Every structure is written in C-alpha cells, then in structure tokens.
Amino acid sequence: MKNKKWIWTAAATLVLALIVIVGFQLWAPSLSAQSLTEDEANKAALDKYPGDILKTTKSADEYHVEMQLETGVYHIRIDAKSGEVNSIKRGEKPEEIPKETPEKTAPKQLTQKQVEAIVSSQGTVKSIDLVQENNNSYYKAVVSKNNENITLKVDSYSGDIISSTKEKPRILTETEAITIAEEHVKGTVDEVDFYEPPNQTPYYLVEVEINEDQEAVLQIDAYTREIKNVSWEDHEEDEDESDEEE
C-alpha cells in the first residue's frame, strides 16, 4: 500500500509540473508582447531616422509618428509591440511662398544744375557738357581757379568726380592784346607793355592814341582777355606838366 501511494504522489507531481511548463509556454509570448509606450515608440523612430518629432498618435497596434527630417515631413508607422517600422511615407511638400523681391528702379541721371552744384566747390564753373561714350555717359565740367582751368570728369548718375586735370590758360599774345584794345576804343596803338608781377595775374598795358590831344591806356588781363581798367590822358596836360618841370 505504501508503494502504491508513493507512485500516485509522484505521478501527480509530474502531471502538475507538466501543466506548469505547458502553461508557461503558452502565456510567456503574450507577456513579452506588451505594447510599447509612446516614448519607446518615439525612440524607435529616432533610432532609425534622426530628426524632430512633430506629433505621435496611437491606433490599435501601431504608433503614427510625424517627423521633420532634412528632406521634409514624414509619417512613420511603428509596430506598437515590436517597435519595428511598418512603413514610412513622405508628406506633401508644403507650397513654397515666393519671396517678395523689391522692385529695382533704374538709376536717375543727374541734371546739369545738379552737377553744377557739385563742381562749384572746385572753382568758378565755365562749362558743363554731357558726353556719351561707348554706351556710357559722363559730364565734362571745366572750372577755373587761381588762373588755372580744371577739367573734371563727373559720373552722370552718382555725381562722383572720376578724374581732374589742371591746365593753365594760354597767355594772350601782344597782337591779340592790340586787337582787343582797338575793338574797345577807336584809335592807333602807340605802345604795348607786358607785366607779370609776382602772385598776380599777368596783364598788358596798351596805349591807344585817340587824337592829337588824347590817348587811352587799357589794362587787359593776359589770361581772361578782360579789360580791367581804362584811363584817359590829355596831351596838353602832359605838355604843361613838362613845361613846369623845365
């Protein structure tokens, strides 16, 4: 009797052990297949595709992760249990809004008056001309300062002085001085003298005999041709002065 009881006990223990083993095998897979948390799903997505997660939602057995990658926005479906990527799909490319570009306005050419205001600081303005050259234009201005003519090349749009060239004006010849004097007073040129004092403008003194009793002395600027002064002398007065001196 004792032997039979021991045999039944051993058999029952064996059956119970078998039930536990089979039950464990049946239940173990379901325990290991628990759903991932949202953070775990996000980590699974980031491990595959480095980027920024915009939004994560969950359906029955999948996580839907919306990610911003370098090439655009992607929708990634993550298996909620295994963490594997079931699919990835790029979202529609957002419509690019064209950037507004400021309208370019054509540069405006300066007027002669505007150029005159610019170059007047360089001297007395004598002339300003617009020059067209090889599809380019510039202003050529001539100013005078200290008895020198200065030719300026001025950008016709910016007003910048591109170049500056000094040139001394030509001194009148004696013949030209005589012609100027004869055009100013009617008479016969008696004598012409040229003077060039230091630090002064050179000039001519031209004596013109008007008649037997009178003569005129003209001072003519040797650079500008301008008659600076006219003095009148009477011969009788000169003779009287000479007699008194004798």
| 223 burial via Cβ count (<10 Å: 0-12, 13-18, 19+) | middle
pLDDT surpasses 60 at 183: yes
Task: Enter the DSSP assignment of 92.
Answer: P
Q: What is the pLDDT of residues 78-113, one digit of tens each?
A: 888 888 888 888 887 666 777 777 777 788 999 999
Report the alpha-carbon distance of residue 39 to residue 202 in Å, rounded: 100
pTM, rounded to two decimals: 0.39
Q: How high is the mean pLDDT of the chain?
A: 83
Q: Which residues on adjacent β-strands are paired with residue 73?
A: 68
> Which of the two residues, 167 and 182, has the higher pLDDT score?
182
Q: What is the pLDDT of residues 15-36, one digit of tens each?
A: 777 776 666 555 555 545 578 8
Looking at residue 246, its pLDDT comes to 47
CA atoms within 13 A on the CB side of 244: 6
Looking up tokens 């005129």, which residue turns up?
216
Report the alpha-carbon distance of residue 113 to residue 117 in Å, rounded: 6
Report the alpha-carbon distance of residue 87 to residue 74 in Å, rounded: 10
Q: What is the identity of the amino acid at 129?
A: D
| Nearest in space to 172 (alpha carbons), one of 140, 218, 125, 209 | 218
